Amino acid sequence: MSKKNPRVAVCGATGAVGREMLKVLEQRDFPCSEVIPMASSRSAGTRVPFRDQELTVVEMKEDSFEGIDLALFSAGGGTSRHFAPFAAKAGCVVVDNSSAWRMDPECPLVVPEVNPHDLDWHKGIIANPNCSTIQMMVALKPIHDEARIKRVVVSTYQAVSGTGQKAIVELENQVRRLMSGQPVVADVYPHQIAFNCLPHIDVFEENGYTKEEMKMVNETIKIMGDESIKVTATCVRVPVFYGHSESVNIETELKLTGDDCRALLARSPGITVVDYPEKLAYPMPVDAAGLDDTFVGRIREDETIENGLNLWVVSDNIRKGAALNTVQIAETLMERDLLRVP
Ligand code: 25A
Ligand code: L14
């Protein structure tokens, strides 16, 4: 890479994740010579805050990527499938938040704490995993290295911000209407989300699981680079604004006591252990919102099997689950001198 700082495009800059990307680039003082916010024609001309200025959003087009070194995408799967190849063709490295490229064998799927080495073989498009998968990988990788995970049973409690800005507004509006005795309006979700739980995230597949559940199954295997790990998931939308929570039950080959696990996770990157039941201290989404780490607590041995553990894992889905992980991938590319399309 040339020694000059890269020009960076944020594609989908007006969305919940895109706005957070701008914030994370600013907070981490990401070395860039320029930031160009892009979105659909609907939002071209709107202004987004960055550092002490406001940047004007430009419409993303096929030829928008000339002279841009790095594009951080969060504009939905269809948009990404269409535009990312144009960017890569123009020599711009893409880090994409959507599900479009995750299972493509040509595209690394990366959590920097877990598999940074997979960036070495990128061909221009790198995928950022699903938010629920990312935080589970951060928590499980140290355990897998130490005791080999055989099977994972996970249930998620996912915030509405995962669906984007429009879902945040829908939950706010439903709460307001219900508290003033008016009937709810549901546009984004198929049912009322305020004061409710929906065991349904993304679309249903033929096997009866949702696409979100199958992402956790398939992405885990790709990120861990281990086809022997069995994962089964139930993904649930809950009326929380920011922060996904997960109840994770694991079975390991080797014995790891609760104390071993607590000590192991406490010294692992990107994790804060919050596990003081006597003080009623455990991870919660309202505490994790706006923070970078993955928080793990309620660590207990599963007494029904020989080598098993239960964990409660919480992280901000818009930060570690999306914008932060994307920027960390970009930072790792720079560190490894990989910011170029081979
Ligand atoms: O297909 P997938 O992978 O499953 O992804 C589907 C959705 O998931 C979100 C993302 O929502 C995406 O739309 N998402 C993706 N990865 C995620 C992850 N890892 C993830 N969520 C969590 N974790 P989003 O809200 O973050 O981003 C939407 C952005 O995409 C832009 N976009 C859509 N089509 C586009 C396009 N950009 C370029 N070309 C296209 N063809 C979209 O642009 C948005 O920036 P937009 O400006 O048209 O925004 C649509 C309308 O949204 C409203 N709005 C946006 N932000 C705000 C807002 N209103 C109020 N306040 C805001 N802050 C506006 O009304 C605008 O018109
Ligand atoms: O990244 O919470 O695959 O609605 C799909 C569903 C992002 C979040 C993905 C949600 C997502 C999402």
Q: Which atom of ligand 2 is nearest to the CA of 102?
A: 3
Domain ranges of the chain: 7-129+322-335, 133-317
Instruction: Fill in the amino acid letter for 100.
Output: A
Dist CA 333 CA 30 (whole Å): 12
Report the residue count for the chain.
342
pTM for the predicted model, two decimal places: 0.92
Ligand nearest to the CA of 189: 2
d(CA 315, CA 139) in angstroms, rounded, equals 10
Give the relative orientation of helices 324-335 and 16-27 as an angle to the nearest 10 degrees.
50
**Mutation pick for ligand 1 pocket among 62, 165, 244, 318 (CB with most ligand atoms within 8 Å):** 165
Identity of the residue numbered 292:
D
Q: Which residue has the tokens 């799927």?
A: 109
Pairing verdict, β 93-96 and 70-73: parallel
Task: List residues near ligand 2 (CB under 6 A).
Answer: 99, 130-131, 158, 162-163, 201-202, 212, 215
- From 101, 201, 242, the mutation candidate for ligand 2 (largest count of ligand atoms within 8 A of CB) is 201
Question: What does the angle CA 312 – CA 318 – CA 319 come to, to the nearest 5 degrees?
Answer: 80
> Measured between alpha carbons, how far is 77 from 87 in angstroms, rounded to an integer?
15
Find the 149 Cα to ligand 1 centroid distance in Å. Answer: 35
CATH homologous superfamily of 7-129+322-335: NAD(P)-binding Rossmann-like Domain (3.40.50.720)
Task: Verify whether ligand 1 is closer than 6 Å to residue 196 (CB atom).
Answer: no
Is 3.10.20.600 the CATH classification of the domain at 133-317?
no
Question: What is the block-wise mean pLDDT of the chain (342 residues), using blocks of 10 residues?
Answer: 84 96 98 97 98 97 98 97 98 98 98 98 98 98 98 99 96 98 97 98 98 98 98 99 98 98 98 98 98 98 98 98 98 97 91
Place of tokens 């609760």: 258
Structure-token pair, residue 48: 């987004």
For ligand 1, atom 42: residue with the closest CA:
12
Which residues are known to be catalytic?
A: 131, 244
